[in-house]
Structure 1
Amino acid sequence: MKSMKGQVSDSARKIPPRQIEIDADEAGQRIDNFLFARLKGVPKSRIYRMLRTGEVRVNRGRVKAPYRLQAGDMVRLPPVQVAAAGPPAPPGNRPRRLETRIVYEDEDLLVLDKPAGMAVHGGSGLAGGVIEALRAVRPQARFLELVHRLDRDTSGCLLIAKRRSVLRALHAQLRSGRVEKRYLALLEGEWRGRFQRVDVPLRKFVLQGGERLVKAAEDGKPSQTLFRRLEAFPQATLVEAELLTGRTHQIRVHAAWLGHPLAGDERYGDKAANRRWRRLGLKRLFLHAWQVAFRHPRRDVMIRLEAPLDGELEALLDHLRQP
């Protein structure tokens, strides 16, 4: 039997040593975050050990995890062994179909009309999401990162940054409330109001099985949604919901708090009503991020983009409009 000493297992691959010069777009980030992005698949504990032992060098010297990279820094990455991924699942056409759903793109960012039923990123038992699919069909892209998130069952405008500096700038706009995000939602029941601002704190819970649940709670985080009625039907109301804060499941929970849960909402909605919606052809949550507006980080102009409703949602509205 041959000795395995010094050999790399078939279940692992080896990343060779590299020297990387930091450019202005990569400057400002912590060295540990830089390594997480560059050494995907390497456990975080291994990366921190490389920093502690000096295997990673910046300008030929040791640095600690909080060190922030500067333009012109030379980073030496050591050879490192990474567990190989299992056999890849057949990609099919879905990742490439995402390219046909791009609403806007330039050298700094893109806005995608995310399809319902697709997570924005992998994890929690999911093989992959939007960002992994885009990276797969654009292997030459140096940087692709989500600016924000949408629920898996929500469709519509999703911002993706192509530069780290753009990501930081858009995050700053999000934190200061300068990104407008408007959704179209179909609410259960006839809602007679025209405008209503819901200012109800929300708190996130994690159930025993790991499922996330959000509830209205006095000790929750401040949460505000502005609802505007667009069209009334005998058993439902089409509204525009503007997020004034960005909490998990915010529109869904605030709508349920009003007594008008979203059509097709299996988590916070009405089961009997959802059965009725399924009979009418609605197989998903009726929530669509139809409009986003922000100031372009590098061109300093306002960008306002829209994504039309999917055919399934338009067909349901056409049915409801029939006398």
Structure 2
Amino acid sequence: MRSTPPLKTAAADTPSDTWNPSGGVQFLTVPEELAGQRIDNFLQARLKGVPRSRVYRILRKGEVRVNKGRVKAEYKLAAGDMVRVPPIRAAEQAPAPHAGEQLRQLVHDSILYDDKGLLVINKPAGLAVHGGSGVRLGLIEVLRQMYPQSPFIELVHRLDRDTSGAIMVARKRNVLQHVQAELRGGRIGKSYLALAVGKWPRGRRVVEAPLRKNTLKSGERMVSVHQDGKASETRFQVLERFKAATLLGAEPVTGRTHQIRVHAQFVGCPLAGDSKYTGGEDNRAFRERGLKRLFLHSASVRCTLPDGTDVHVEAPLPTEMQALLKKLRDE
């Protein structure tokens, strides 16, 4: 059920599909081809030059309305929805940051698949998927600058900034809608490699624990297991055991924020290098072994395209992760 109230348009409202940066309050109607797009991405594509942090701020404060109701950033639009956009002063607009040649080359060299409207990128750790508070450029902004001839480039799903590996990006609207529908229906395969601190409990193959997001005063997002949280499930498989850690395969059945990381912590084996959910002493021990990042890698993605093509793409494990595993085997 949709969370917004029924649409009641006042006679004075004059909806359109473009935003005028010099206007006051404006109303944009959602065309059929953009049905299913998140409201934050819809706004970002139209409020050219407005910082992403500003877009999220007007959403949080309720200045943006859909069919006269407040919505969250993850709200998905329907054809015909009316979006109220508040006045945004010219001073709040800023030129979009430009991706340097080195960053463009890094992303170009990380492309694993590019065909039939789908991109699969081996995202480097440390690169956010999109710009936002404290982040000038993300993967999606870099790709849009790399493909200026493409009118449509959107994330199919997301990865945490510190997580590396395969991520899908749609270059066609019908591909985005189709693959996201497959994702919601549980027909998309996403496999991760994770290094858990300590000895993973034998026989523990599934973790079902509800997760709830919390935002600290600093603005940092934290997730915890809570009875009032959203139902969440992760399937784990022990791939290799070491003296101080366990290499796991992980497949999230649901797609909650930080899901694999928090479910591993819940079992008592948080992930190595995780600055949010792993104790400092454990992380120091792995830093001494050369690990300077979260050990979580999106190893492969599997999906079906609208024409029936099966896509299965694997992302090789970064060299620093391979080196750490070798050290653990030698201990």
Whole-angstrom distance in 2 between the partners of 1:246 and 1:300: 24
Q: Which residue of 2 aligns with 1:137?
A: 146
1:301 aligns with 2:309: yes
Q: Which residue of 1 aligns with 2:70?
A: none
Whole-angstrom distance in 2 between the partners of 1:29 and 1:123: 22
- What one-letter code is carried by the residue in structure 2 that aligns with 1:175? R
Structure 1 unaligned runs (5+)?
1-12, 15-21, 50-64, 70-79
Whether the aligned pair in 2 keeps the contact of 1:108 and 1:163 (CA below 8 Å) is yes
Q: Which residue of 2 aligns with 1:262?
A: 271
CA 1:281 to 1:68, structure 2 compared with 1: closer, same or farther past 3 Å?
Answer: same
Aligned equivalent of 1:280, options 289, 294, 311: 289
Whole-angstrom distance in 1 between the partners of 2:290 and 2:245: 15
1:242 aligns with 2:254: no
Whether the aligned pair in 2 keeps the contact of 1:195 and 1:229 (CA below 8 Å) is no
- Within 5 Å, give how 1:8-47 maps onto structure 2: 26=33, 28=35, 37-41=45-49
CA 1:301 to 1:282, structure 2 compared with 1: closer, same or farther past 3 Å?
Answer: same
- Within 5 Å, give how 1:148-163 maps onto structure 2: 148-163=157-172
CA 1:27 to 1:208, structure 2 compared with 1: closer, same or farther past 3 Å?
Answer: closer
Q: Which residue of 2 aligns with 1:181?
A: 190
Find the structure with the greater CA-based Rg. 1
Residues 240-263 of structure 1, C-alpha deviation per residue, up to 9 Å, x if partnerless? 011010000001101011100000
- Structure 1 position 37, deviation (Å): 2.5
CA 1:252 to 1:36, structure 2 compared with 1: closer, same or farther past 3 Å?
Answer: closer
- Structure 1 position 159, deviation (Å): 0.4
Q: Which residue of 2 aligns with 1:212?
A: 221
Q: Which residue of 2 aligns with 1:10?
A: none
Whole-angstrom distance in 2 between the partners of 1:87 and 1:133: 11
Whether the aligned pair in 2 keeps the contact of 1:194 and 1:228 (CA below 8 Å) is no
Q: Which residue of 1 aligns with 2:326?
A: 318
Whether the aligned pair in 1 keeps the contact of 2:49 and 2:96 (CA below 8 Å) is no
- What one-letter code is carried by the residue in structure 1 that aligns with 2:254? T
Q: Percent identity?
A: 48
Whole-angstrom distance in 2 between the partners of 1:113 and 1:89: 21
- Structure 1 position 136, deviation (Å): 1.4
Aligned equivalent of 1:68, options 80, 101, 106: 80
Residues 176-231 of structure 1, C-alpha deviation per residue, up to 9 Å, x if partnerless? 11111111000001225155100100111111111111000111100001110000
Q: Which residue of 2 aligns with 1:166?
A: 175
Q: Which residue of 1 aligns with 2:124?
A: 115
Structure 2 unaligned runs (5+)?
1-20, 23-29, 66-76, 82-87
1:105 aligns with 2:150: no
Whether the aligned pair in 1 keeps the contact of 2:110 and 2:123 (CA below 8 Å) is yes
Q: Which residue of 2 aligns with 1:233?
A: 242
Q: TM-score, normalised by structure 1?
A: 0.77
CA 1:27 to 1:285, structure 2 compared with 1: closer, same or farther past 3 Å?
Answer: closer
Residues 94-135 of structure 1, C-alpha deviation per residue, up to 9 Å, x if partnerless? 122111111111031110000001100000111010000111
- Structure 1 position 175, deviation (Å): 1.2
- What one-letter code is carried by the residue in structure 2 that aligns with 1:41? G
- Structure 1 position 68, deviation (Å): 3.2
Size of the alignment, in residue pairs? 279
CA 1:82 to 1:179, structure 2 compared with 1: closer, same or farther past 3 Å?
Answer: farther
Residues 52-105 of structure 1, C-alpha deviation per residue, up to 9 Å, x if partnerless? xxxxxxxxxxxxx97639xxxxxxxxxx99665258467240122111111111
Provide the aligned C-alpha RMSD in A.
Answer: 3.2
CA 1:303 to 1:118, structure 2 compared with 1: closer, same or farther past 3 Å?
Answer: same
Whole-angstrom distance in 2 between the partners of 1:29 and 1:68: 12
